[in-house]
A and B are shown apart, each in its own frame.
Chain A
Amino acid sequence: MHDTTAYRVTRWALRLIVIGYLSFLVVWPVGLVAAKTFAHGLAPVINALRQPEVIFAFQLTLSAAFWAVVINTIFGVGISLLLVRYTFPGRRALNAMLDVPLSVSPVVVGLALLLVYSGRTGWLGNGLEQAGLQIIYAPPGIIMATAFVSLPLVIREVVPVLTEIGTEQEQAARSLGASGLQTFARITLPAIRWGLLYGVVLSLARSLGEFGAVKIVSGGVAMRTQTATLLVEERYQQFGQANAITAYTAAFLLALIAVLALIIISSLRPGRGNSK
C-alpha cells in the first residue's frame, strides 16, 4: 500500500521538481556569480579587494552591523524579559508592533528615518544637527537604519525560550538571596544562550546585507558612508572590467558571509526536517 508505483513515481517527480526549481532559482545563479568573480583569475580579485574604497566599505558595513546587533541584542533581551515575565497594559499591542520592522519595505524605512532625522528639515534632525550630531548622510544614520530592519530577530528567538523555561529557577535563585543581576547572569542568560546566539547571528546576517534603507539615509559617499552593498551597486554601474570585477568580488564576499552565517545557524539548530 505504501510503495505503489504511482507513489514512487510521484515521489521522484516531486523530488525532481523541487531540486530543479531550487537549482534554477538559487543554486545555479549563485554559482555563476562565484564563477564570474574568478573568471579572469585570482589576481584581479585580489586587486579589487586591495582598493581603499572596498576595504573601507566592508569595514563600515561590519561596524554598522556590529553596533546594530549590539543595540538590538540589549534591547531585544530586555524587551523579551519584559514581555514574558510581566503584564502591563498594551503588552499585546507592543508585541505585534515589534514585528512591524520585518514587514516594512527598506525604502519606506529610509524615508521614515529621513523625515525625522534629516539635518535641515527633519522633525528631530534639525535640533540634533545644531547639537552637532549628524544622523542622515553620516554613519549614525546607517546604524539606525540597520538596527531598524533587524530589530525583531533577536526578540523572536528569545521570547519562546523564556516562555518555555518558566520562572521556577529564577524564583528559586531569588528566594536564595540572589540579586536581580545575579539571577539574570547566572540563571536566565545561560538558559537562553542558544536562542540568543541564534538570533544574534541571524541579526548579523540581515544587518550586513541591508541595502535599500541605507541607500536613502547614507548618501553613498565613498570612503565615508558607502557600505559594501552600496559599493556593489556603484561599481556595477561603472564602465570597465576592473569595476565589474570589483562589483562581483564585493558581491561574492557578501554572499560568502551570508552562507557562512547560514551554516553557523544550521549547526546551532537540532536536527529537523525528518518526519517522525
Chain B
Amino acid sequence: MFIRNPMRVRPVAALIAAAAMVLLTGCIGGAATAPGDAGTTTLHLVGYAVPKEANNAIQKKFAETPEGKGVTWQESYGASGDQSRAVVNGLKADYVNFSLEGDVTRLVKAGLVEENWKSGPTKGIVSESAVVIVVQKGNPLGIKDWSDLTKPGVKIVTPNPASSGSARWNILAAYQQVIANGGTDAEATAYLTKFFNNVAALPGSGRDATNAFLQGAANVLISYENEAILARQSGEDFDYILPDATIKIENPGAVLKDANPKAKAYLDFVLSPAGQEEFVKNGFRPFIPSTPVGEVVGANDPAKPFPVPPKLFTINDLGGWDAVNAKFFDEGGLVPEIQKATGRSQ
C-alpha cells in the first residue's frame, strides 16, 4: 500500500530537496558563529520600546569617532519592564537604556550594574520627554485637556503598567495633573478611576500602544512626546496635545559591570552634544544646556518644538520612585486596586 512508484516521483523534486540541503550546509557557517571578525567590537544594547531610532542615529555618529571605530551592535528593544527582567534572566547586555529608573535599579539589585551608576552629572539620565495626549487627525473629539478624557465615547489606549515604562509615566501624569491643578488626592484617585474606565486597550509597550492607536483600536493615545514626534516624522498622520499640566519624563541609561569598556565610551558619547543632538532630532527634549536644537520635523511647531508646559512636574514632586512605586504600582497599590475595580488588569 505504501509502495512508491519510482516512475511517478519526479526526480527533479528530490534533487531540489537535496540541493536545498547542501545550500543550507553552506549557510550554517554564516549564522552559527556570532558575527564580527577580529578588529571589531560587538556591543549589546538592551533598550525600552521607543528609542531605537535615536540610538541608531547616535551609534552611526559614534562609529565616526576614534573610540567608536569598528563597533558593531546587537540590539533588543521592547517594553521597559520586560527588557529589564530579561537582562536579569540572562539576556546579554553591555549598555541599557530603559524608560524608568526602577528598571535599572532591578539590575543593580541583581548585581549587574554598579551602585553608583547615577552619580554622574546627569544623575544617570540620558534623555527627557513629556507625556502628551495623541488624538486623531483634526481632533474630531475636541480633546483639549486631561478632563476631556473621561467623557463618554473616548477610547484610550495606554500601555500596560506591569510591563511598560511608558504606562507608568502616563498614569503618574494623569494622577498628578489633578493635584497640580489644585485638587486633592481623593479627587486624583477618582479621576484615575474614570480614566481607566475609558481604557480600551493595554498593549505591552509604548510602541505597541502607538501601533494599536494607528490601527484604530482607540481614538486617544497617551504616550511620550518623542514617540508622537517620531511617528509623525515617519509619515503617520495625527495630532498631539501637550497638556498644561504634565510630567517630565526622564529615561536612564547605564553600563553593566562586566561590559566591554567601549560601552562606557558610548554612554559618554550619548551624553555629549553630538549624541544629545540626535535625541533632539528624534523628538526628545534637550536637557543638557550645550545641546544644539534645530528644527524638529514632526513637532507641532518645528521651529519651537518643545514649549514648556506651565505646570510641568517631576517624579520628585511625587516623592521619588520608591514612594511612587509603593503608592501606585506595587501589590496593593493604587493602580492594581483600580484595575481590579474597573476590570482592566494585566
- A, B: real partners: yes
Inter-chain contact B24/A62, CB cutoff 8 Å = yes
As a 0/1 sequence over residues 181 to 206 of chain B, the CB contacts with chain A under 8 angstroms (1 = contact) are 00000000000000000000000000
Inter-chain contact B89/A270, CB cutoff 8 Å = no
A134 at the interface (CB under 8 A from B): yes
Inter-chain contact B86/A219, CB cutoff 8 Å = yes
Query: B88's contact among A60, A120, A136, A164, by CB below 8 Å, is which?
Result: A120
Chain B positions within 8 Å of A, measured between CB atoms, are 1-2, 4-5, 8-10, 13-14, 16-17, 20-21, 24-25, 27-28, 30-32, 34-35, 44, 52, 72-76, 78, 86, 88-92, 207-208, 211, 230-231, 234-236
Could you say which residues of chain A place their CB within 8 Å of the CB of B208?
237
Known interface pairs A160-B2, A195-B2, A237-B211; A63-B90 also in contact (CB < 8 Å): no
Inter-chain contact B35/A137, CB cutoff 8 Å = no
Query: A264's contact among B16, B73, B231, by CB below 8 Å, is which?
Result: B16
Inter-chain contact B89/A59, CB cutoff 8 Å = no
Inter-chain contact A223/B74, CB cutoff 8 Å = yes
Q: In this complex, what residue of A is CB-closest to B52? A: A238
5 sampled A-B residue pairs with Cβ under 8 A? A195-B2, A222-B74, A223-B35, A223-B74, A260-B16
Within 8 A of B (CB), among A232-263: 237-241, 260, 263
Q: In this complex, what residue of A is CB-closest to B210? A: A239
Could you say which residues of chain A place their CB within 8 Å of the CB of B207?
237-238
Q: How far is the CA of A164 from the CA of B3 in the complex (A)?
A: 9
Q: How far is the CA of A239 from the CA of B227 in the complex (A)?
A: 10
Q: How far is the CA of A268 from the CA of B31 in the complex (A)?
A: 30
Could you say which residues of chain A place their CB within 8 Å of the CB of B20?
204
Known interface pairs A59-B30, A139-B32; A164-B10 also in contact (CB < 8 Å): no
Inter-chain contact B76/A220, CB cutoff 8 Å = yes
Q: In this complex, what residue of B is CB-closest to A129? A: B90
Q: How far is the CA of A64 from the CA of B89 in the complex (A)?
A: 23
Inter-chain contact A221/B75, CB cutoff 8 Å = yes
Q: How far is the CA of A268 from the CA of B4 in the complex (A)?
A: 9
Could you say which residues of chain B place their CB within 8 Å of the CB of A121?
89
Inter-chain contact A118/B90, CB cutoff 8 Å = yes
Known: A219-B76, A220-B78. 17 other contacts (CB 8 A): A59-B31, A60-B31, A65-B24, A137-B91, A139-B31, A164-B1, A194-B4, A197-B17, A220-B76, A221-B74, A221-B75, A221-B91, A222-B76, A224-B34, A224-B44, A237-B211, A260-B16
Q: List 9 A-B pairs, minimum CB-CB distance, nearest first.
A: A119-B90, A239-B234, A59-B31, A267-B13, A63-B31, A240-B234, A194-B4, A66-B24, A221-B76
Minimal beta-carbon separation of A99 from chain B (angstroms): 20
Could you say which residues of chain B place their CB within 8 Å of the CB of A268?
4, 9, 13-14
Inter-chain contact B75/A62, CB cutoff 8 Å = no
Inter-chain contact A241/B235, CB cutoff 8 Å = yes
Minimal beta-carbon separation of A32 from chain B (angstroms): 17
Could you say which residues of chain B place their CB within 8 Å of the CB of A38?
none
Inter-chain contact B16/A120, CB cutoff 8 Å = no
Chain A positions within 8 Å of B, measured between CB atoms, are 56, 59-60, 62-67, 118-121, 125, 129, 134, 136-137, 139, 160-161, 164, 194-195, 197, 200-201, 204, 219-224, 237-241, 260, 263-264, 267-268, 270-271
Could you say which residues of chain A place their CB within 8 Å of the CB of B32?
63, 139
Q: In this complex, what residue of A is CB-closest to B36? A: A223
Known interface pairs A62-B24, A66-B24; A271-B76 also in contact (CB < 8 Å): no
Minimal beta-carbon separation of A95 from chain B (angstroms): 19
Q: In this complex, what residue of A is CB-closest to B86? A: A219
Inter-chain contact A137/B90, CB cutoff 8 Å = yes
Could you say which residues of chain A place their CB within 8 Å of the CB of B21?
66
Query: B89's contact among A56, A67, A119, A204, by CB below 8 Å, is which?
Result: A119
Q: Which of A60, A66, A119, A241 has the most CB of B within 10 A?
A: A66
Q: In this complex, what residue of A is CB-closest to B9? A: A268
Query: B230's contact among A137, A219, A239, A271, by CB below 8 Å, is which?
Result: A239
Minimal beta-carbon separation of A246 from chain B (angstroms): 14
Query: A270's contact among B4, B14, B86, by CB below 8 Å, is which?
Result: B4
Inter-chain contact A271/B74, CB cutoff 8 Å = no
Q: How far is the CA of A11 from the CA of B9 in the complex (A)?
A: 32
Inter-chain contact B2/A164, CB cutoff 8 Å = yes
Q: How far is the CA of A240 from the CA of B210 in the complex (A)?
A: 13
Query: B90's contact among A120, A164, A195, A224, by CB below 8 Å, is which?
Result: A120
Q: How far is the CA of A64 from the CA of B21 in the complex (A)?
A: 13
Inter-chain contact B27/A136, CB cutoff 8 Å = no
Inter-chain contact A197/B234, CB cutoff 8 Å = no
Known interface pairs A137-B92, A221-B44; A161-B76 also in contact (CB < 8 Å): no
Could you say which residues of chain B place their CB within 8 Å of the CB of A139?
31-32
Query: B9's contact among A59, A65, A67, A267, by CB below 8 Å, is which?
Result: A267
Inter-chain contact A63/B74, CB cutoff 8 Å = no
Minimal beta-carbon separation of A162 from chain B (angstroms): 10
Inter-chain contact A201/B17, CB cutoff 8 Å = yes
Q: Which of B73, B86, B91, B231 has the most CB of A within 10 A?
A: B91
Inter-chain contact B89/A264, CB cutoff 8 Å = no
Q: How far is the CA of A213 from the CA of B235 in the complex (A)?
A: 34
Could you say which residues of chain A place their CB within 8 Å of the CB of B35?
56, 223-224
Q: Which of B13, B21, B31, B88 has the most CB of A within 10 A?
A: B31
Known interface pairs A137-B91, A267-B9; A63-B27 also in contact (CB < 8 Å): yes
Q: How far is the CA of A161 from the CA of B1 in the complex (A)?
A: 9
